[in-house]
Amino acid sequence: MSNPRDLERLARNINPGGWAIETDRPIATLLGSCVAVCLWDPKLRIGGLNHFMLPKFERSANKDLDMLLCGNYCMEALMNGMLARGAQKKRLQGKAFGGGNVVSSLTGVSIGQRNAEFAREWLAREQIALLASDLMGPWSRKVILDPQTGEAFCKRGQTNQSIAEAESAYENTLVVAPKKTDIELF
């Protein structure tokens, strides 16, 4: 069994909208209402982890939204990256974390809940077994994936004020149309 403290010290950290695939180096991320999905191919001993903020990219007033922040794009990027490195879809195993209710939702259904539901549905639709999960609840989470063993470690934490403030500010940008500017892009 891997030592989570050693893995954390060596880990490549992934930010929102990011994803990584590794064979030797651990991968880690910090989550609030976001979700991280780990994919692992046990034959090749290759693992990947992503971090998304919203379930699906939808055309909206916020045209500057990075598509990889959205689960539907971030999941496809991770899976396609795994397949490009030789993984086979039929061997992939999944683990999912996050979706905490760290800020009160403006839309009635928390972003965390929507993210968690999306992750489960996506894995089921792609017929990837969800071997473990720690989704929902009022916690932030630190997640570390060991690509050598496929082990994923999740440490729950109290939601700190900076995570809640950052997520709340981001959620507010989703419901307010961006201001018009005099700049024209060509």
What torsion, rounded to 10 degrees, do the Cα atoms 106, 123, 44, 8 define?
30
User: Does residue 34 have an active-site annotation?
Assistant: yes
Instruction: Name the residue among 165, 155, 30 with its Cα closest to residue 103.
Output: 165
**Which one of 34, 38, 74, 154 is the catalytic residue?**
34
Query: What would the DSSP string read from start to end of 8-63?
Result: HHHPEE--TT-EEEESSS-EEEEESS-EEEEEEETTTTEEEEE-BSBS-----S-T
b/e sequence 5-28, b meaning 16+ C-beta within 10 Å: eebeeebeebebbbbbbbeeebbb
Helices (H), 26-160: 71-84, 111-125
Catalytic residues: 34
